[in-house]
Amino acid sequence: MSQIQRTGERLMALGIELPEPPKPVASYVPSVIIGNLCFTSGQLPLKDGVLVAQGAVGDTVSVEDAVAAARQSILNCISVAAAAAGSVDRIKRVVKVLGFVQSDDTFHQQPQVINGASDLLQEIFGDMGRHARSAVGTNALPLDAAVEIECIFELTE
């Protein structure tokens, strides 16, 4: 079975249903394809229109809840990329993840939080899910979200 045909089936095998691509909360588009790259907009951890986690990690949000938020954010990244590409099976590789974690000033486990995204990418895409990544803290995010993640995917031609 080729890599190209695998991701949709892999998602089914994992019991993961891609969410509907969230609508941008302002005047931009969910993702842009240029050449074989797809740049997603920053995705909040919205699930059925509700934030999975709201507030600062280390303050009102636990690491565990933030990990779930990171997982939801990257699912939304995959969803918007798949929608733009026509199919999730056109995602060939994950190139780069940039993850922002709304953090209490004394919270320093941003990598553990963004692992919620990275682990899922490798679960879904295997070796092609191994990506470069930055995880940083921030004092404030849109809608008071706990996490915001943007992603660059490589697509098949």
Contact residues for a second copy (CB under 8 A)? 24-32, 34, 37, 39-42, 56, 93, 95-98, 100-101, 103-112, 114-115, 118-119, 122, 130-144, 148, 150, 152, 154
Min dist CB 111 to a second copy, Å, is: 4
Min dist CB 2 to a second copy, Å, is: 20
Q: Which is nearer to a second copy, 12 or 148 (CB)?
A: 148
Min dist CB 10 to a second copy, Å, is: 18
Q: Which is nearer to a second copy, 4 or 130 (CB)?
A: 130
Q: Distance between CA 72 and CA 142 in Å, rounded?
A: 16
Q: Which of 39, 4, 154 is closest to 93 using CA atoms?
A: 154
Min dist CB 55 to a second copy, Å, is: 11
Q: Which of 57, 68, 10 is closest to 76 using CA atoms?
A: 68
Looking at this protein, which amino acid is placed at residue 77? C
**Which DSSP string corresponds to 7-24?**
HHHHHHHHTPPPPPPPPP
**Vertex 148, ends 142 and 150: CA angle to 5°?**
125
User: Do the Cβ atoms of 21 and 103 come closer than 8 Å?
Assistant: no
Q: Which is nearer to a second copy, 4 or 12 (CB)?
A: 4
Q: Which is nearer to a second copy, 41 or 79 (CB)?
A: 41
